């Protein structure tokens, strides 16, 4: 009796047809097959995470909107405070949803279409825009990310490293050590290495968080504690850190030599920033609504707002719109931040997503093929399957 070909193997080549058939083994060949189990229902999206991403993107765009108003003390303190944790929020959530990343065909393809292709598109678009509107030298360098595109490149690298983090002991501690060591020298600007290594602890932390950890943050008492923590954090930034700490620290792109500090001071600063950002991320998440709201669906399209808002903020910078005196006041700063939040909201809406889906979520099925495996890999796998079938005791289940 011939053995049905397993779906785990691709069709055999002619040179493999001489393999001996598997011996009759188990009762599965004589008994009727068990009915197939129903396909698992797709998991519903948790509105908590979409809400978190929506409010985080409001902070990102509002922060970029007031960057040229930092001569106002309130604006500089708010900018420094928000930049301490706004990208770590995204990185932690991204790590959490990357826990099941593998190099299987579907995941690898999504990595290319959702990160690599948008990176190339927007690196080219921003460089061209900078040349056309900003009147700079025309130059496109895929190895030197421009402005916002560094996050796509970093995320691509972090996600590729996921299987490594999942197999080593003490992954978060190792990631922290790598982050601290990377700051001891000014790494090449190519591929934004300082940021990739410096911020990796947040990605690794997200990888090892569990649903029950987020459930703790959803408690009522946690919201009170989180709100007080954010207020205390801003007060500390406004009264102390704003006057003693260079803004460059929160960009994570410069090493100790560039920041003109020795390795002892630099390591202490980075460790303090990692802890502060972790605490502020947790505090921020305690205030995120847990249920569905009108803005929940917008949280699924935050990458649109992230990559597109730079064209507006750069345009305002290139044409000197920030020079208006009225903007360099506390009311002016608040108005510009509100305009940035409104812009972020509009860029997450369905019409924008529909118009630019070709660039951020391209359908590139035409560019892929079935997973290729070497012939010797298939041969060895087939031989192993036959050997296992022959060794199986008769009558076993």
Predicted confidence band at 147 (pLDDT cuts at 50, 70, 90)? confident
Residue labelled with tokens 């031989």:
383
Name, of 39-43, 115-119, 338-342, 393-397, the range with top average pLDDT: 338-342
d(CA 244, CA 247): 10
pLDDT for 55 equals 97
Quick check: helix, strand or coil at residue 64?
A: helix
pLDDT, mean of residues 62-69? 95
CB atoms within 10 A of CB 369: 7
Where residue 7 falls among pLDDT bands split at 50, 70, 90? very low
Least confident of 12-16, 243-247, 356-360: 12-16
* pLDDT of res. 108: 78
The CA distance from 90 to 86, in Å, is 7
Instruction: State the pLDDT confidence band at 22, using cuts at 50, 70 and 90.
Output: very low
222 has pLDDT over 90: yes
The predicted pLDDT at position 142 comes to: 83
Kind and range of the H or E element at 280?
A: helix 263-286
What is the chain's mean pLDDT, rounded? Answer: 85
Closest to 309 in 3D by CA, of 347, 283, 271, 355 = 347
Left if phi > 0, otherwise alpha if psi is -120 to 50, otherwise beta: which for 261? beta
Q: Is the pLDDT of residue 187 over 90?
A: no
CA distances from 280 to 60, 88, 199, 273 (A): 15, 9, 15, 10
Torsion angle defined by CA atoms of residues 186, 189, 191 and 196, in that order, rounded to the nearest 10 degrees: 40
d(CA 337, CA 333): 6
pLDDT of res. 141: 81
Over residues 278-296, the mean pLDDT reads 96
Look at 51-60, 90-99, 187-196, 224-233 and tell me which has the smallest mean pLDDT: 187-196
pLDDT attached to residue 43: 64
Report how far Cα 72 is from the mean position of its chain's Cα atoms.
32
Position with higher pLDDT, 52 vs 2: 52
Report, as an integer, the average pLDDT of 223-233. Answer: 97
Report the C-alpha gap between 102 and 108 in whole angstroms. Answer: 8
- pLDDT of 8 > 50? The answer is no
Mean pLDDT of 97-102: 86
The single-letter DSSP state of residue 260 is: T
Q: What is the pLDDT of residue 58?
A: 97
C-alpha to C-alpha distance for 129 and 298, rounded to whole angstroms: 26
Percent of the chain with pLDDT over 90: 65
Answer with the residue of higher pLDDT: 25 or 172.
172
pLDDT of residue 45: 82
**Residue of 140, 102, 104, 139 lying closest to 123 (CA atoms):** 140
- pLDDT value, residue 36: 52
Q: What is the pLDDT of residue 371?
A: 67
As given in the structure block, the two tokens for residue 328 are 């360099």
Rounded Cα distance, 222 and 220, in Å: 5
**Residue matched to tokens 């803004």:** 247
Q: Tokens standing for 332?
A: 């002016």
Spatial distance between the Cα atoms of 102 and 105, rounded to a whole number of angstroms: 9
Residue 388's region, left for phi above 0, alpha for psi from -120 to 50, else beta, is alpha
- The single residue listed with the structure tokens 């303090």 is 272
């Amino acid at each position: 009796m011939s053995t049905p070909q397993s779906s785990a193997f691709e069709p055999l080549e002619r040179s493999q047809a001489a393999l001996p058939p598997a011996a009759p083994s188990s009762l599965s060949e004589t008994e009727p097959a068990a009915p197939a189990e129903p396909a698992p229902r797709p998991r519903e999206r948790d509105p908590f995470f979409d809400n978190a991403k929506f409010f985080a993107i409001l902070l990102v765009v509002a922060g970029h909107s007031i960057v040229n108003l930092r001569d106002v003390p309130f604006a500089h303190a708010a900018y420094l405070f928000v930049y301490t944790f706004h990208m770590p929020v995204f990185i932690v959530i991204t790590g959490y949803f990357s826990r099941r990343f593998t190099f299987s065909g579907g995941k690898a393809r999504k990595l290319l279409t959702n990160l690599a292709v948008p990176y190339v598109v927007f690196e080219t678009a921003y460089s061209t825009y900078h040349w056309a509107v900003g009147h700079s030298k025309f130059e496109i360098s895929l190895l030197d990310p421009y402005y916002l595109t560094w996050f796509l490149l970093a995320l691509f690298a972090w996600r590729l490293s996921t299987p490594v983090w999942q197999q080593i002991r003490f992954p978060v501690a190792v990631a922290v050590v790598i982050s601290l060591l990377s700051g001891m020298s000014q790494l090449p600007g190519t591929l934004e290495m300082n940021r990739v290594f410096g911020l990796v602890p947040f990605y690794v932390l997200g990888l090892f968080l569990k649903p029950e950890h987020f459930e703790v943050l959803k408690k009522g008492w946690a919201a009170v504690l989180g709100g007080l923590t954010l207020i205390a954090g801003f007060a500390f930034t406004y009264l102390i850190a704003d006057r003693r700490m260079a803004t460059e620290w929160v960009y994570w792109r410069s090493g100790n030599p560039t920041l003109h500090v020795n390795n002892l001071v630099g390591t202490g600063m980075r460790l303090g920033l990692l802890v502060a950002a972790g605490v502020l991320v947790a505090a921020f998440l305690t205030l995120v609504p847990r249920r569905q709201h009108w803005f929940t669906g917008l949280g699924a399209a935050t990458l649109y707002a992230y990559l597109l808002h730079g064209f507006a903020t750069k345009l305002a910078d290139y044409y000197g719109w920030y020079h208006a005196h009225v903007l360099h006041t506390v009311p002016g700063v608040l108005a510009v931040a509100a305009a940035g939040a409104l812009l972020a909201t509009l860029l997450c809406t369905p019409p924008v997503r529909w118009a630019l889906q070709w660039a951020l979520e391209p359908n590139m099925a035409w560019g892929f093929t079935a997973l290729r495996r070497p012939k010797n890999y298939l041969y060895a796998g087939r031989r192993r399957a036959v050997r296992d079938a022959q060794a199986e005791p008769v009558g076993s289940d």
